[in-house]
Structure 1
Amino acid sequence: MPDQPPTPLRAVTSQTCAVSAAVDIIGDRWSLLILREVFFGVRRFEDFRSGLGISRSVLTARLETLVAAGVLRRTPYRLGDDRTRFEYMPTRAGVELLPSVVALMRWGAKHAMSTPPIFSTRHAGCGADVDAVLRCRAGHLVTPADMEAHATEFSSTGGVA
């Protein structure tokens, strides 16, 4: 029997598709750039604003979305003027996005830029470039040819069982 073309996945809502749900939270340019900055140590509103050239209103909205989604946490601090300000730190869920951001950086450097990027990610311990690698939970390297989509069972709380 000849190979049949794959059936398109029809679950395209944030309720049924994990990619759609993730894109709803982090899928815009500014959210991804904010995450990149967070992973390189930026924590304060004014540092995000000046480093990214983003408007105050857009930055405020994106930070609120990332905090509400549990990607960043907002921690108060005070400067000499006694005003309370906030730092933004990645949560565990935020840190789990690091491989995705690194993968986007590597893909962009390879396929979307006509000149070399101004920086790359390197392992501080040995100096080698950092790559995002796809592995199964048993530890095997995975290529697109090794993957298959399958239906999941949902627990009573709505998560994947």
Structure 2
Amino acid sequence: MPDAAQDEPSCSIERSLQVLGERWTLLIIRDVHAGRHRFADLQTSLGIAPNLLSTRLKTLVSAGILRKLAYQTPGSRHRESYHLTPSGEELELVLAALQQWGDRHRPRATGPAALRRRRSTGRPVHVGFIADDDAREVPASDVDLRGVPAEAGGTAPHG
């Protein structure tokens, strides 16, 4: 019988895209992060078909990115709202990097729809590589992606 771990892609980007790579998925995460937690609110905001939204939400819950919380409004049945788990909250950096890339390489004629700013100062922020040893930003041109030795669990040089 084959080992399931051996069938799993060694590339962490590929493993991530198994959950995040479908259309609508990152937009759902974006909207939940923005405070849209109810199914109807997500559907209205995104314009997504209900069956497709339901499927994507189930995938995100089973992957541990979203969690469901029960709620009930007076006079209606119990429903569930969707909230980011700590794992889902970490995807804010992915969304910020995509937004930054889109603003730079796929700009709107009228400029960015939103800007990320530091809460404490109001100054703009951006996504970048930060060195572990001195917490300084490192230019992407000075960053290498190196494979991990096989004895440490690595098998591929591409992430």
CA distance in 1, matches of 2:8, 2:102: 26
1:106 equivalent in alignment to 2:89: no
Written as runs of structure 1 = structure 2, the 5 A alignment for 1:20-99 is 20-99=14-93
Shift of 1:111: 0.6
- Give the gaps of 5 or more residues in structure 1: 1-12, 156-161
Match of 1:121 in 2: 116
Matched residue SS, 2:129: coil
- Give the gaps of 5 or more residues in structure 2: 1-6, 155-159
Matched residue SS, 2:126: coil
Amino acid aligned to 1:104 = L
Alignment equivalent of 1:141, drawn from 110, 131, 137: 137
Deviations 1:74-118 (A, max 9, x none): 111111124111111111111111111011011111111332232
The normalised TM-score by structure 1 is 0.79
- The 8 Å contact of residues 70 and 91 in structure 1, kept in 2 or not, is answered as yes
- The 8 Å contact of residues 71 and 94 in structure 1, kept in 2 or not, is answered as yes
Amino acid aligned to 1:88 = Y
Alignment RMSD: 2.0
Deviations 1:37-62 (A, max 9, x none): 12211111111100111110111111
Higher relative contact order (CA 8 A, sep 6+): 2
Shift of 1:69: 0.4
Q: Is the deviation greater in 123-132 or in 106-115?
A: 123-132
Percent pairwise identity: 31
Amino acid aligned to 2:153 = F
1:132 equivalent in alignment to 2:127: yes
Shift of 1:146: 2.5
Matched residue SS, 1:88: strand
The normalised TM-score by structure 2 is 0.80
Amino acid aligned to 1:135 = I
